């Protein structure tokens, strides 16, 4: 304490009616907090409790007991006491404790060095991949960028090596070089399966030993575990999701063992499966899932299985493992999910299920400013309404036209979710039409053109508002769906329809102009429709829904969606009342 160090005895007898005088540098010595007290003193009078009579003499009105306001040596640490146990990552607090304890040097575990060898003749370093190279079929190498990030996060040191083409001798030279460096482990990515240019297994066998080739998990099946010159060598699968999951299952525990840390596990959470998830018997499946807390239950909705799609990892909130002995799980089952995000973020996530629109991306970006995360699943308008029924979403997006009345959504709401009181709020007015290649080469102008024998169509799935719109017009114009080539080929979003047309799978599809414009394609307008958000009344007081409505009604949001083209904002954020009918 700041004050005056004294011999406590010298203060005895002082009281409010009996003040005692002490002389500076005779009975009392000024001290500040944190400083040692002079020898032969054993207590400190706080500065607030003294009353100076002149420069050298002060008065006190109460005594102090011995060791009052004095911290004794060893209050915090005593010689021989353990400051920190072993096998432990030193935190910021603990750095302070080590210094306080005078431990200026501590023995630590060497950070494991992991060499990453990307291999594949189709690969180019991302920063050197120009448009010309991409045209030749070269693709950017990014698996080792992800793996390096994971290694650094675990506490290791990543050594990303140059890309090696599909050539046995080149790969052999690269592997030997890595194994003979100061690396503690080598990971070859990819070339681990049985293709004609997959040399990894043969190479490890020639230079050392293959312990495992192929594991009963998906993604990640073609993993190789081996030893070369006494160092672990892993042949990691090439699809990005397989590469990550296999690495986390096999390489991560090795790195943690090298760090002498216990194997870390992600926090888990109990969730309810939003739908039936079939899984192949005999292999452990790793599903990427989206999570959201709806009506007090955390809902897990699986993302597409494809191991080639890195976005199924970046969009995922968690990983759901289905064991090898299971054939899958039923809708509504309770499952344990490994969290990829903070629990806190899951609880601040607004879950939308329903029709896809490109404005949802802008909505998500704006909601973040309100600390709200938007999770969207694109299953079509009807699927969205059913999600409200199953309480797996906070709101749905829908553009279901009632052909009889020309009204949107309300008749479907009455039919499919009559027991759920909802509000309908306009998201945007949008054009619908034909998405065709630049210049409209097959000259699509009307629905009749879809039935031409030289035209291949790409459809949306049943229950999608766009499909309803198409069927409405086909019926109105007396066109038999069976006469349309590709009527039974389905995609799930506007952009995937546009991509199908762009890549030549089809000549025309139906969708919104923003999807066509984004890919430099042409658009033939047909109708303007209402894209609405359907919000159960029970969530209206939820802060996340309030933030949603605030964003929808903000000028900034409207300006951003206008800039996309093909959208009308006159009703955006307005409630659409149920018609009197």
Q: E strands within 449-562?
A: 457-460, 490-491, 508-511, 522-536
| Minimum gap (Å) between residue 402 Cβ and a second copy | 31
76 binds a second copy (CB under 8 A): yes
Q: Within positions 259 to 318, which residues make up the interface with a second copy, using CB under 8 A?
A: 262, 264-265, 267, 306, 308-311, 313-314
Considering only the stretches 35-43, 169-177, 407-415, 542-550, report the one whose residues sit in contact with a second copy under the rule CB under 8 A: 35-43
CB 120 within 8 A of CB 190: yes
CA neighbours within 13 Å on the CB side: how many for 293? 16
**With respect to a second copy, which residue has the nearer C-beta, 91 or 333?**
91
Which range binds a second copy by CB under 8 A, 21-29, 189-197, 403-411, 466-474?
A: 189-197
Give the position of tokens 């003193």.
Answer: 41
Tokens 């999701």 belong to residue: 241
**Which lies closer to a second copy via its Cβ, residue 306 or residue 441?**
306
Size of the site for a second copy (CB under 8 A): 106
**Binding residue for a second copy (CB under 8 A) from 13, 16, 86, 406?**
86
CB of 513 to a second copy, least distance (A): 12
User: Binding to a second copy (CB under 8 A): which residues in 56-75?
Assistant: 66-67, 71-75
The angle formed by the CA atoms of residues 242, 247 and 252, to the nearest 5 degrees, is 155
> 3-state class of 256 per DSSP?
helix
Q: Which residues contact 136 (CB under 8 A, 6 or more apart)?
A: none
Closer to a second copy by Cβ: residue 238 or 465: 238
Q: Per-residue x/- marks for a second copy, 317-356, CB under 8 A?
A: -------------------------xxx------------
CA 304 to chain centre: 15
Angle, vertex CA 558, rays to CA 554 and CA 563, nearest 5: 150
Cβ distance 178 to 115 under 8 Å? yes
Which span sits near a second copy by CB under 8 A: 181-189, 193-201, 203-211, 317-325?
193-201
Q: Which of residues 453-472 bind a second copy (CB under 8 A)?
A: none
Q: Please identify which residue in 83, 109, 227, 420 interacts with a second copy, judged by CB under 8 A.
A: 83
Interface pick for a second copy out of 87, 276, 415, 476 (rule CB under 8 A):
87
Rounded CA gap, 503 and 338, in Å? Answer: 37
Residue 251 is classified by DSSP as I
Angle at 342 (CA atoms; ends 337, 347), nearest 5 degrees: 85
Binding residue for a second copy, selected from 12, 23, 51, 99, defined by CB under 8 A: 99
- Laid out side by side, the sheet with 185-189 consists of 157-160, 113-118, 185-189, 231-236, 224-228, 209-213
Q: Which one, 12 or 67, has the nearer CB to a second copy?
A: 67
The one among 7, 20, 29, 47 contacting a second copy by CB under 8 A: 47
Least distance to a second copy, CB of residue 78, Å? 4
Using the rule CB under 8 A, is 196 a contact of a second copy? yes
Indicate the Cα dihedral angle 422, 334, 360, 434, nearest 10°: -90
Q: Look at strands 139-141 and 157-160 and give their pairing.
A: unpaired
Site for a second copy in 437-456 (CB under 8 A): none
Kindly tell me which of 145 and 157 has the beta carbon lying closer to a second copy: 145
The answer to whether 322 touches 330, Cβ cutoff 8 Å, is no
* Nearest approach, Cβ of residue 574 and a second copy (Å): 25
Q: How far apart are CA 78 and CA 98, in angstroms?
A: 13
Rounded CA-CA distance 221/250 in Å is: 12
**Shortest gap between Cβ of 262 and a second copy (angstroms)?**
4
* 129-158 footprint of a second copy as x/- string (CB under 8 A): --------x-xx-xx-xxxxxx-xx-----
By CB under 8 A, the residues from 215 to 244 that bind a second copy are: 238, 240, 244
């Amino acid at each position: 304490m700041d004050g005056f160090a004294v011999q406590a005895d010298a203060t005895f007898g002082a009281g409010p009616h009996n003040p005692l005088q002490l002389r500076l540098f005779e009975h009392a010595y000024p001290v500040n907090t944190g400083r040692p007290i002079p020898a032969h003193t054993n207590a400190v009078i706080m500065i607030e409790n003294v009353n100076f009579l002149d420069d050298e003499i002060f008065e006190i009105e109460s005594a102090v007991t011995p060791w009052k306001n004095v911290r004794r040596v060893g209050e915090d640490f005593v010689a021989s006491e353990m400051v920190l146990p072993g096998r432990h990552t030193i935190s910021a607090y603990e750095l302070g404790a080590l210094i306080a304890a005078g431990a200026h040097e501590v023995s630590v575990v060497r950070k494991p060095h992991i060499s990453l060898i990307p291999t594949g003749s189709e690969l180019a370093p991302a920063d050197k991949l120009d448009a010309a190279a991409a045209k030749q079929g070269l693709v950017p190498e990014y698996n080792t960028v992800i793996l390096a990030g994971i290694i650094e996060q675990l506490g290791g040191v990543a050594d990303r090596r140059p890309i090696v083409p599909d050539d046995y001798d080149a790969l052999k030279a690269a592997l030997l070089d890595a194994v003979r460096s100061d690396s503690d482990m080598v990971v070859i990515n990819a070339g681990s399966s049985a293709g004609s240019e997959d040399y990894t297994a043969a190479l490890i066998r020639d230079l050392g030993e293959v312990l495992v080739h192929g594991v009963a998990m998906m993604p990640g099946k073609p993993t190789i575990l081996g030893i070369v010159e006494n160092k672990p060598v892993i042949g990691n699968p090439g699809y990005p999701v397989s590469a990550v999951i296999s690495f986390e299952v096999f390489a991560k525990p090795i790195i943690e063992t090298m760090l002498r840390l216990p194997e870390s596990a992600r926090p888990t959470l109990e969730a309810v499966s939003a739908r039936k998830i079939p899984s192949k018997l005999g292999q452990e499946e790793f599903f990427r899932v989206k999570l959201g807390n709806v009506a007090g239950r955390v809902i897990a909705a699986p993302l597409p299985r494809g191991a080639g799609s890195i976005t199924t990892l970046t969009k995922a909130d968690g990983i759901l493992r289905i064991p090898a002995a299971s054939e899958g799980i039923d809708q509504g089952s309770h499952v344990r999910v490994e969290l990829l995000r903070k629990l806190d973020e899951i609880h601040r996530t607004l879950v939308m299920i329903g029709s896809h629109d490109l404005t949802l991306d802008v909505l998500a970006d704006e909601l973040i400013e309100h600390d709200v995360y938007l999770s969207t699943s694109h299953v079509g308008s009807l699927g969205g309404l059913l999600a409200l029924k199953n309480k797996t979403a906070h709101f749905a997006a829908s553009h279901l036209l009632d052909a009889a009345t020309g009204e949107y959504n309300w008749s479907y709401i009455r039919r499919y979710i009559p027991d759920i009181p909802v509000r309908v709020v306009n998201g945007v007015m949008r054009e619908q039409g034909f998405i065709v290649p630049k210049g409209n080469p097959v000259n699509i102008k009307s629905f009749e053109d879809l039935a031409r024998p030289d035209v291949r169509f790409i459809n949306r799935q049943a229950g999608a508002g766009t499909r309803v719109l198409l069927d409405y017009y086909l019926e109105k114009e007396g066109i038999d769906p069976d006469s349309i080539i590709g009527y039974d080929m389905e995609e799930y979003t506007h952009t995937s329809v546009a991509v199908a047309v762009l890549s030549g799978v089809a000549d025309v599809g139906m969708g919104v102009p923003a999807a066509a414009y984004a890919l430099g394609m042409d658009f033939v307008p047909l109708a303007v429709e209402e894209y609405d958000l359907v919000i159960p009344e029970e969530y209206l007081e939820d802060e996340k829904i309030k933030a949603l409505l605030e964003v929808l009604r903000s000028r900034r949001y409207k300006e951003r969606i206008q800039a996309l083209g093909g959208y009308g904002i006159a009703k955006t954020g307005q409630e659409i009342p149920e018609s009197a009918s």
